[in-house]
Structure 1
Amino acid sequence: MHAAVVRSFSAPPRYGTFPAPVASGDREVLVDVLAAGLHPRVRSAANGSHYTSDGTLPMVPGVDAVGRTPSGELLYFVADDGASGTMAEQAVVDRRRAVTLPPGTDPAAVAAAMNPGMSSWIALRRRVAFRPGGSVLVLGATGNAGQLAVQIAKHLGAARVVGAGRDPDRLDLLKTLGADDVVRLGTDEPDALARAAADVDVVIDYLWGRPAEQAMRALMTARADRAKALSWVQIGAVAGGDITLPSALLRAGNLTVLGSGQGSVTAAGIVAELPSLAAEITAGTFAVDAVPMPLAQVERAWSVPTAPGQRIVLTP
């Protein structure tokens, strides 16, 4: 079959041939892939930097996709651990890691939104005891996942959502997506963060590194009630993989730092959330801007610039 093939971690995938996967067992089915999202998670696997990478080459990247079964059923699925990736003409689906999509669903929209949307959806539904009426700060809200996190937090009942990021144009966009306030990182923080988000209940953090250090200090210092719980959910590390965490912040306030990702949530827990999020995406609840590109142009897709909110989707 044709696929995007990674033969070196120092170069983008190239369009080529790769052995077609074979379904085995009653729970597996071979599907024709219709759309696979080019997510940051996919990029990190393709360059060998993701923490789950085992260094095996060649490989087909892609962690999820929308595909059609031989009987015509439309599925969104998450690739099984250790299985060949989804950026190919065909993929094997474990029915336990898939959800049926209704007729008329836009495969590109689902492929674009499910992976980035799952990061905050899982965090707020599985990792913290978030309740309607709570408040959320999205750190790194100007990225694709961050923009969806703003919308998802509102959808799940947040009374107040603050978005923080660097890009002023994308910050303006957040206001149309439900953000009650925005803070531009690198210019008007940490004081602005303290004013806007000192008493939030949850931080969804896609940045880590220096921005997280500064934000954590600002919020914990400015909280009116330091005994009020603050759950800091670490999801991405765009700004760096490490931070310096002063012990005083943990002693002087009710701060809980935890992660959300592969390993901190079971595969069964992730799969259990697929139907509800897929239903909201297919219903048009969230703004999704998919940019379909042919799989044959995968090298170009790896470097093509995108506008705020867009996500490239490869279509075999």
Structure 2
Amino acid sequence: MRAALVRTFGTPPRCEEVGPPPAPGPGDVLVDVLAAGLHPRVRSAADGSHYTSRGELPLVPGIDGVGRTEEGELLYFVAPDTALGTLAERALVDRRRAVPLPAGTDPLAVAAGMNPAMSSWVALRRRVDFAPGSSVLVLGATGNAGRLAVQVARGLGAARVVGAGRDPHRLGLLDALGAEPLDLRGEEHEVAGRLGAAAGDVDVVLDYLWGAPAERAVPALLTARTDRSRPLTWIQLGSVAGPELTLPSAWLRAGALSFVGSGQGSVTTAGIVAELPALAEEIVSGRLDVRPVARPLARVHEVWGEEVAAGERVVLVP
């Protein structure tokens, strides 16, 4: 079969002929892959930088996809962390990691939306006791996952969502999704003032940035907080702005601030899989605005670093 193949970390994969998937075992099924998303998580696995990477080469990247069984059943599936991923013509699927999709489902939309939406969906359903009427700050709301996080939070009952980012065009699109846009550009004291005024009393922070923006946001929020004893849960989801921050210990004593992470390891595989049917329904129904950009698997080396518009995600089609 044809598949995207990484032979050297740091070099985009090329479409090559590889061996077929292993024979199905008990509980497995072979599928023809219809669509697989080119997510940042896929790229980080392909360059060896993701924390789950074992340095194994050659590597077929890809962590999820939509496929059809020989019997015609349509499935969304999540692949295990092995060297045989989903950017291929066929894949071996563990039924315990798969969700049946209704007839008429757009495979491209599901392949594009499940992974980026899963971060905020699992975080709010599994890492915090999130109650309808709560308020949320999304740090990094102008990215694809952050944009979906705004919609997920609203869909799960958030009364207010503040979406923070630096891209003025993408910030301007957040209002239509139900978020109050907050510009992170400018002098540090000005940004701190805007953060405090808009989000000082939020209940949850969904943080895709980390690094310096989070480092500055913590004191800005706590300083402006009406009641510092009111719990504030900071959920770490990504590190676009840097992998580390420096946090004076006093801020952990000065407010009811809790840091948690959400991702592979902090939530069990079974816990993540249990959330997939409901999230798939959100995408299939159109309640989440997902915009796939289809590209042929044969051109994977050309489209690997392709930049797309706000809300779009490249989906590879064998």
TM-score, length-scaled by structure 2 = 0.98
Q: 2:141 aligned with 1:132, yes or no?
A: no
Alignment correspondent of 1:281: 283
Alignment correspondent of 1:26: 26
Alignment correspondent of 2:141: 141
Q: Give the fraction of aligned pairs with identical amino acids, expressed as a percent.
A: 66
**How many Å separate the matches in 2 of 1:271 and 1:298?**
28
Consecutive unaligned residues of structure 1, counting only runs of 5 or more, are none
Alignment correspondent of 1:201: 203
C-alpha distance 257-163 of structure 1, shift in aligned 2 (>3 A): same
One-letter amino acid of the structure 2 residue matched with residue 304 of structure 1 = E
User: What are the equivalent positions in structure 2 for 1:1-316 lying under 5 Å apart?
Assistant: 1-82=1-82, 84-179=84-179, 181-187=180-186, 188-316=190-318
RMSD: 0.8
Kindly tell me the number of residue pairs found equivalent between the two proteins: 315
Please give the secondary structure, in 2, of the residue aligned with 1:190.
Answer: helix
Please give the secondary structure, in 1, of the residue aligned with 2:191.
Answer: coil
Kept in 1: contact 2:59–2:83 (CA 8 A): no
One-letter amino acid of the structure 2 residue matched with residue 42 of structure 1 = V
Kept in 2: contact 1:208–1:243 (CA 8 A): yes
Q: What's the CA shift for 1:153?
A: 0.2
**How many Å separate the matches in 2 of 1:50 and 1:276?**
27
Deviates more, 1:80-89 or 1:112-121: 80-89
**How many Å separate the matches in 1 of 2:224 and 2:260?**
21
Kept in 1: contact 2:203–2:231 (CA 8 A): yes
Q: What's the CA shift for 1:83?
A: 5.7
One-letter amino acid of the structure 2 residue matched with residue 200 of structure 1 = V
Kept in 2: contact 1:22–1:30 (CA 8 A): no
Kept in 1: contact 2:108–2:294 (CA 8 A): yes
Kept in 1: contact 2:63–2:81 (CA 8 A): no
Please give the secondary structure, in 1, of the residue aligned with 2:174.
Answer: helix
Deviates more, 1:74-83 or 1:32-41: 74-83
**How many Å separate the matches in 2 of 1:18 and 1:246?**
51
**How many Å separate the matches in 1 of 2:78 and 2:65?**
7
Q: What's the CA shift for 1:6?
A: 0.5
Please give the secondary structure, in 2, of the residue aligned with 1:189.
Answer: helix
**How many Å separate the matches in 1 of 2:89 and 2:21?**
10
Kept in 2: contact 1:80–1:93 (CA 8 A): no
**How many Å separate the matches in 1 of 2:79 and 2:34?**
14
Q: Deviations over 1:154-183 (max 9, x none)?
A: 00000000000010110111111111x111
**How many Å separate the matches in 2 of 1:16 and 1:135?**
48
One-letter amino acid of the structure 1 residue matched with residue 182 of structure 2 = V
Q: What's the CA shift for 1:84?
A: 1.2
TM-score, length-scaled by structure 1 = 0.98
Please give the secondary structure, in 1, of the residue aligned with 2:150.
Answer: helix
4+ runs deviating over 3 angstroms: none
**How many Å separate the matches in 1 of 2:64 and 2:250?**
41
One-letter amino acid of the structure 2 residue matched with residue 98 of structure 1 = A
Please give the secondary structure, in 2, of the residue aligned with 1:115.
Answer: helix
